[in-house]
Structure formats: structure tokens, C-alpha cells
Amino acid sequence: DAGVTQSPTHLIKTRGQQVTLRCSPISGHKSVSWYQQVLGQGPQFIFQYYEKEERGRGNFPDRFSARQFPNYSSELNVNALLLGDSALYLCASSLGQVYQETQYFGPGTRLLVL
């Protein structure tokens, strides 16, 4: 079975632009979470979606938004990009909600903001 897939793998944007990142969960998984990993740090939680509804949000500004589609894939949108948004963006899927569940991570999208 395919694991979690993310696209694109790499992305270069300039300040002020908008970006959309995509994630396909493992087949049968209904929960998708997004994380931001800055170089040298642990991942920071951005959003969790379960059954197409937002179930959790981390401490990120409103420039960050996400949605989950009927097939459980997900998009993360970031508006008005800042230099500090440069990071590896990770998507993770799980069967149910996060507590006690194993989350399976994708390879990530590396975003560079110039």
C-alpha cells in the first residue's frame, strides 16, 4: 500500500505570495494533520482534520488555512508568505483522531520563501 504522499516536494516563492500544499493520506485513514518543521527544530502542529472537519488548530496565524476533501485528501494554504514561513511542511495521516493513534508521516514539502 502507498504511504502518505505530498506534493510538490520542493517549492520556491517570494514574500507576499500564496502557496497551496497537497497531501493524500494512506487508504482508509480519515484523519490528516499538518506540521511545520523549521531546520533544527521539532515539528510544530498546525491543523488536524478528521472526517472533513477541523478538529484542532495550533498556534499559527490566520494566514494559514486548510481543508479536507470527501476522499480525505487535504490542502494547506498559506497566504502573504513571510521569510519565516520557510520550512519543511509535513502531512500525517491516522485511522482516527490523534490521541493514542499512530500518525504516519509523508516525506514533506520543502518551502523556501525569498
Q: Which residues of 35-61 are buried (b: 16+ CB within 10 A; e: fewer)?
A: bbbeeeeebebbbbbbeeeeeeeeebe
- Enumerate residues 23-52 that contact other proteins by CB under 8 A: 33, 35, 40-48, 50
Q: CB-wise, 14 or 53, nearer to other proteins?
A: 53
Q: How far is the CB of 12 from other proteins (least distance, A)?
A: 20
Q: Is 84 left (phi over 0), alpha (psi -120 to 50) or beta?
A: alpha
Q: Is the CB of 11 or the CB of 98 nearer to other proteins?
A: 98
| Binding site residues, other proteins, CB under 8 A | 33, 35, 40-48, 50, 55-56, 58, 90, 92, 97-108
